[in-house]
Structure formats: structure tokens, C-alpha cells
Amino acid sequence: MYCNYNENGFGINDYRLKSIIDDRCDIRTAYERILSFFDPNRGSNRKTKILDYSNASLWSEKTLRLFDVTQTHNLYSHNKSIFDIIIYEPPKKKLVTTTRYSSRIFKKLIKPNGILVTRTSDFRDHKNPAKLKGGFEVESLIRSSGFYLFDQVIYIYNRNDRTSRRDICELIHSYFMIFKPEI
């Protein structure tokens, strides 16, 4: 299913989040839509507390006003805080060890009704270029730490015509996997 948008980019009588975001929006807009849709505090007067453990610059001024955002590269500094949403982008190098370690800590930092938004894309293994890695490995590692996959959204990038066929899988889409902690 693709998003139906008018010429100004606004949805036409459809307020549901689609399984595929394919209206050529930028990554900040995609994150904003996902966070607004899956926000556990949506409809309440509380500001949602978000831990951003990614390497991306996701936050516009508008989004920063909506949420209480903590950006970090050190999970230990937040070991007494509890978050509604955690954003994670696993690295391509040391994918298994980093994701396993981080997801165990996320389990301690997230509220029981919170969500873990993980963004990953398929990429070629540097040891075995014929093998694609990405979403499947990340999903199984996070599940083993006490989360379950609640939903998944595919984000389709603007494709550059100069992209070679070999690199298309790596460049035209990524997954937003929405996890919830098992209770």
C-alpha cells in the first residue's frame, strides 16, 4: 500500500500510517510520522521522553518541542532514566555484538509500555559480499533480549539514477522495526 498525497504533500482523508512510506519524504519527516503514530503518550498531556541512540541528525525544531529528547552515545550515563521511546540505528560493523549488548541495556531503560524504534537497511557483508545482512539479524538479536516485533515500516529513499544495480538493495530502502518489551 502506498501513501496517497495531494500536490501539497498532505494526506487525502487518510490518517493511518502505511506499511510503506514512499512519498519521497526526507528521513526526518519519516521519523516524525513514526514517532507521532507510535507515541505511547499520544493524546495525553505528558511529553514523551525519548532516548536517541543513533548517529543520525533527526530532530527539527518542531520535533524537539514536541518531545523530551536525550541524544547520547553512552548508554551507561542514563542507567537511572526510564524512557517512553528509544531510537536505535545498529552499526554495520560489529552488528551482532553491538546490537546484542545495546538491546540488553535498552530492556532496562524502557518503560513497560514503551517502544524501541530500530532503523536498519540491508547491506553487503564485507567478509562475504554475496551475502546481504540487516533486518533479519537485527530482529533476532533484539528478540533474544526480551522484545517482540510489534510492527515494521519500510521507508523507500529517493533513488539516484546513477546507482549501480549491485548497490540498489543497500540504497533504496530501510526498515523501521517497532519493538515492545515483553512483560
In the chain (183 residues long), the average pLDDT of successive 10-residue segments reads 40 51 74 88 88 83 86 77 91 86 92 92 73 80 94 74 49 80 89
Q: H-helix or E-strand containing 95? A: helix 95-109
Q: H-helix or E-strand containing 38? A: helix 27-38
Find, among 32, 18, 24, the residue nearest to 172 by Cα. Answer: 24
- Strand residue runs (E) in 66-172: 67-71, 83-88, 110-120, 123-124, 132-133, 147-156
pLDDT value at residue 6: 41
Cell of 179: 519493538
> Cα(133)–Cα(136) distance, rounded to whole angstroms?
7
pLDDT value at residue 173: 67
This prediction has a pTM of 0.79
Cell of 134: 540487516
Domains of the chain: 20-181 (3.40.50.150)
